[in-house]
């Protein structure tokens, strides 16, 4: 059996089990924790082993299948500009994902409470890891444009979105009022309002500087006043010529 078929089957099985487990845990609620697979069960438990095995299998399958398709398209000289653009977007989002993981730290990433992070990248999104991973894998799936990689990338995006939703009650119970206040201020994935505010403030700072630079360019040499425009058909002579050239007569 070809390797890509094996990866596709392993990824599909992992995706189905993860989505079913996440939805089951969300529907069952806090009163039936035996069904919950996320936030991650205690390290060393069977549920923890099963969850991380399925999760990593799906991630690896999407990455390998997508990269294989992109490399094949490049070698066969049929890689389109659109595919290159989506692949570049995926790489940028992937780098942002790694930064978000580093920013949160290993303990919090594995659902071991290490304090509520609200500064830095967390001013833009409550879930920077999920937000960047969703963009990265969605763009990668579109770039791959393959019968196996693209659907699996869509399934992985669904898994990341469900993980963000399912862990909310855990965070509320863990951090209580502090998290509720933070939740009211910052969206789950993308803080468009904050981005718009930052953009507006940046433009407000830049526009006066641009206007001042334009005025400075119009100042004549020697601080002489700007001469009035000449009437149509009039030729400047003498002092008028010197004034229009920006120097004393």
**Per-position DSSP letters for 66-114, written without gaps between them:** HHHHHHHHHHTT---HHHHHHHHHHHHHHHHHHHHHHHH-HHHHTT---
* pLDDT for position 215: 60
Q: What is the pTM of this model?
A: 0.75
pLDDT of residue 247: 47
Contact status, residue 90 vs residue 54, Cβ threshold 8 Å: no
CA angle 43, 45, 50 (to 5 degrees): 100
Predicted confidence at residue 100, as pLDDT, reads: 86
Q: In the structure, how many helices (H) and strands (E) does the chain have?
A: 9, 0
Angle between helices 81-104 and 46-75 (to 10 degrees): 150
Q: According to the model, what pLDDT value does residue 114 have?
A: 64
Rounded Cα gap, residues 104 and 168, in angstroms? 16
Calculate the alpha carbon distances from 226 to 119, 209, 221, 231, 242 in Å: 51, 21, 10, 15, 12
Q: From residue 194, how far is each of 121, 166, 184, 201 by CA, in Å? A: 12, 25, 13, 11
CA distance 215 to 34: 70
* Residue (of 165, 38, 143) closest to 90 by Cα position: 143
Cβ–Cβ under 8 Å, residues 61 and 10: yes
Spatial CB neighbours of 39, under 8 Å, sequence gap ≥ 6: 111, 166, 167, 170
Low-confidence ranges of the chain (pLDDT < 50): 240-249
- The C-alpha atoms of residue 131 and residue 18 are separated, in whole angstroms, by 18
DSSP for 148-211, please give it: THHHHHHHHHHHHHHHHHHTHHHHHHHHHHHHHHHHHHS-SS--HHHHHHHHHHHHHHHHHHHH
Confidence at residue 237, expressed as pLDDT on a 0 to 100 scale: 56
Domain ranges of the chain: 3-199
pLDDT at 33: 66
Query: If you search the block for the tokens 């403030």, which residue do you land on?
Result: 201
Residue of 186, 39, 212 lying closest to 117 (CA atoms): 186
């Amino acid at each position: 059996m070809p390797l890509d078929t094996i990866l596709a089957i392993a990824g599909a099985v992992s995706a189905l089990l993860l989505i079913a487990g996440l939805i089951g845990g969300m529907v069952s609620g806090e009163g039936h924790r035996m069904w919950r697979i996320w936030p991650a069960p205690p390290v060393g438990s069977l549920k923890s082993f099963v969850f991380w095995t399925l999760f990593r299998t799906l991630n690896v399958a999407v990455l390998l299948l997508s990269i294989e398709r992109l490399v094949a398209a490049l070698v066969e000289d049929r890689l389109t500009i659109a595919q290159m653009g989506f692949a570049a977007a995926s790489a940028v989002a992937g780098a942002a994902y790694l930064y978000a993981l580093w920013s949160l730290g290993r303990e919090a990433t594995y659902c071991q409470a290490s304090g509520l992070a609200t500064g830095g990248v967390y001013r833009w999104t409550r879930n920077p890891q999920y937000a960047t991973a969703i963009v990265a894998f969605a763009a990668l799936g579109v770039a791959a444009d393959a019968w196996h990689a693209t659907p699996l990338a869509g399934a992985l995006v669904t898994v990341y979105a469900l993980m963000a939703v399912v862990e909310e009650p855990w965070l509320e119970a863990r951090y209580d009022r502090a998290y509720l206040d933070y939740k009211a201020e910052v969206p789950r994935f993308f803080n468009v309002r904050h981005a718009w505010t930052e953009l507006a403030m940046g433009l407000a700072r830049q526009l006066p500087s641009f206007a001042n630079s334009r005025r400075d360019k119009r100042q004549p040499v020697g601080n002489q006043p700007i001469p009035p425009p000449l009437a149509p058909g009039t030729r400047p002579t003498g002092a008028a010529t010197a004034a229009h050239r920006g120097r004393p007569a």
